[in-house]
Amino acid sequence: MIVGIDFGTTNTLIGYVDRSLRPQIIVNERGSRITPTVVHFKNEKQVLVGELAKSQMLIKPHQTILRVKRRMGSDQNYEIFKEIFNPSEIASFVFRKCKNFASEFLGEPVEKIVVTVPAYFDDNQRQAVAMSAKLAGLQVVKLLNEPTAAALAYEMENDSEKIILVLDFGGGTFDITLMRYQDSVYQVLVTGGSTSLGGFDFDQVLVDWIVETVKNEKFIDLSKDPIALQQIYNHAEQAKIDLSVVAETSIVIPYVALSPEYGPVHVNLNLSRERFENLTKHLLERAKQLIIDVLKEASLPPEKVDLIVFSGGTSRMPAFRRIVTELFPNSQILSEINPDEVVALGAARMAAIIDGRLKSIELRDVVAHSLGVFDDDGQFVPIIDRGTVYPTIATKIFTNTRDDQDKVLIKILQKRDEELVELGDFQLTFAKKWQKEEAAIAVSFNITHDGILTVTAEEMNTGEAQDVTIQGHLAEIRVPTPDQARLSLLNKIEVL
C-alpha cells in the first residue's frame, strides 16, 4: 500500500485510503494523529521524534532540532555530539518514524510514499525531501504540491468547471494557490503567498507582549533567558490556539525566572481575543493583501472563486476566517475536513490513485520560478516566465560577444524571489571561430508534462547543437544513490 505523507514544518501527518476507499489519518504509537516534526538526539545512538522530542526542547535545546523543513536543500548543517548531519539526514529520522508507526498500524511494511512539498519549493528542496525518504528506506512515487493535495482531499463533482482557492496558512508560511478544476483535471493558475508569514509570527507577537509586560511590571528582561523564553513561546502558542475557540484566556507560567531583587517571577496575564486580534492586526492585514495580490495576478474578481479550501493550523483563526468571508461573500467555503489534516488526506488519495484503487486524475502545474540563462554580462535573461503552464517550450536568440570565439557556456538558472539558483550548465563548441556578434545561438527551454526540463543551444548558421536535461526539474525527482557510509551511520541510530 502506498501512503501519503504531509511532511510539515511544524507537524507531520500520514494518511492512507482504507478498504472502503475513504482517506484516513494513521495514528502514531501514542495514538496521535499529528507527529511534531521535531528530532531530539538522546545520545549518539538514539533519536526521539515527535511529541517526546518536543518535550526535550526546553531541557536540551542543543540536542533538539525544530523546523528542519526550512533548511531542506540548503547547506546549513547541524552539529550534534560532534557529528555533522545535513538537513536531509535529520529529516530522514522523521520519515523513519513515520515508516515505523505506519507499518505497525497497517500491519504491512510501508515502502512507497507520496510526499507533499510546498508549491514554491525548488528543485534542490524537492530533491532534499526525496533524499530524506530514501535514507529512511522509502521510495517517493510522487512529490505532490501541498495546495494541490489540499484540493484533492475534497471530491469534486465531475463535469462542471470550478475555480478553487487553496489557503494554506501553516506554522511558517502562507501558501496561496488558485486552481481550476474540470473533468478530473486540476490546473494550477497562480501561486502566491509568503514564506515568512505563519503561525510563528502570531506567537512571536504574543511573546513580545508577554516579555514587555513582565518587564514593565517586574523589571526583569526575560528575553535574555532562553529557558524562560522557551516556556513563554509554548504558552503563547497555546493561548493563541485557545483564542480560536474561546473569547478570553489566561497565560499562567509560575516560576518562570528568578529575579535577584524580587525573587521568583510568575507570569499571570489575561488575554482576550479582541486584544489578540488588535496586537496581530498587521499580520492579518498582510495575509489579506497577499490574497488580493493573487487575485490581481490572475485578473480574477473574487466572485469568480467557486470554492475555498482551508488548510494549515493557522487557517483556524477566527479573524482570518472573517477576512476570507468578507473578501469572498459568494464563494463556498469547504471546511468539513480538518485543516490540519487536509494535505495528508489529499496525499493519501493521490497514493490510492497511483495504486489504481481510485479513479485517475490529471494534474497540470505552472512553473513556480522563472527560468533562464546568464548573458555575457552576467545578467539573468528569463526564457520561461514564472506562472507559465507546462508542457511548454520557449526560445531566445543570443549572439557571441568576442572575436575568435569557438565556444559558449550556457548557464541555466532559476530565479527564486530575487535569488538566482544554478540548475546546471553546458558548453556549445563550434568548428569555426566566430567573430564578434556573428553567431546566432538559439537557446530553447522545453518542459515536458511531467516537469522535466531540457535546454538546447543551437548555432543557427551551422546547425551545431548541444543539450542538457535537468532531471526531474519540476515534477518527478530522481534521487541520487545515498552515500553508503552515511547510510550505515544513520542506520545505526535507533529512532524512538
Q: Residue 86's binding partner, choosing from Mg ion, ligand ADP, none, with beta-carbon cut-off 5 to 8 A by kind? A: none
Contact letters for ligand ADP, residues 137-176 (x by CB under 6 A): ---------------------------------xxx----
**Enclosing H/E stretch for 443:** strand 441-447
Find the binder of ligand ADP among 237, 341, 458, 459 (CB under 6 A): 237
d(CA 270, CA 273): 10
Give the separation between CA 281 and CA 275, rounded to whole angstroms.
10
Binding residue for Mg ion, selected from 23, 36, 170, 451, defined by CB under 5 A: 170
Provide the β-strand partners of residue 340.
Answer: none
Among candidate residues 362, 312, 389, the one with its CA nearest the CA of residue 152: 362
The stretch among 27-35, 168-176, 288-296, 378-386 that binds Mg ion (CB under 5 A) is: 168-176
Q: What is the closest distance, in whole angstroms, from the C-beta atom of residue 200 to ligand ADP in the complex?
A: 6
Whose Cβ is closer to ligand ADP: residue 339's or residue 372's? 339
Least distance from ligand ADP to the Cβ atom of residue 431, Å? 54
Nearer to Mg ion, 195 or 223 (CB): 195
C-alpha cell at 373: 540563462
Contacted entry of ligand ADP, Mg ion, none for residue 366, CB cut-off 5 to 8 Å set by kind: none
Tell whether residue 199 is a contact of ligand ADP (CB under 6 A): yes
User: What residue type is assigned to position 271 of the chain?
Assistant: L
Rounded to the nearest 5 degrees, what angle is found at the Cα of 394, between the Cα atoms of 366 and 466? 120
Q: Which partner, ligand ADP, Mg ion, none, binds residue 4 by CB below 5 to 8 Å per kind? A: none
The correct pick among 27, 52, 141, 241 for binding ligand ADP (CB under 6 A) is: 241
| CB neighbour class for 434 (10 Å; exposed up to 12, middle 13-18, buried from 19) | buried
Asked if 8 is part of the footprint of Mg ion (rule: CB under 5 A), the reply reads yes
Note whether 9 and 170 are within 8 A (CB): yes
Nearby residues of 200 by Cβ (< 8 Å), 6 or more positions away: 171, 172
* 134 in Cβ contact with 96 (< 8 Å): no
Stretch that binds ligand ADP, among 131-139, 227-235, 278-286, 306-314 (CB under 6 A): 306-314
DSSP 451-465: --EEEEEEETTT--E
Cβ-based nearer residue to ligand ADP, 253 or 358: 253
C-alpha cell at 72: 531542506
Binder among 71, 240, 273, 473 for ligand ADP (CB under 6 A) = 240
| Residue 334 touches which member of ligand ADP, Mg ion, none, C-beta under 5-8 Å by kind | none
On whether the CB atoms of residues 91 and 338 are closer than 8 A, the answer is no
Which of these ranges, 149-157, 279-287, 291-299, 312-320, lies near ligand ADP under the rule CB under 6 A? 312-320
Least distance (Å) between residue 245 CB and ligand ADP = 7
Terminal CA-CA length for the chain: 23
Residue linked to cell 483564542: 243
Residue 244 touching ligand ADP (CB under 6 A) = yes
CA distances in angstroms from 63 to 90, 106, 225, 330, 387, listed in the order given: 12, 32, 18, 50, 41
Q: Which one among 317, 347, 412, 475 touches ligand ADP, defined by CB under 6 A?
A: 317
Which residues here bind ligand ADP, judged by CB under 6 A?
8-11, 170-172, 199-200, 237, 240-241, 244, 312-314, 316-317, 340
Q: Which parts of this chain interact with Mg ion (CB under 5 A)? A: 8, 170
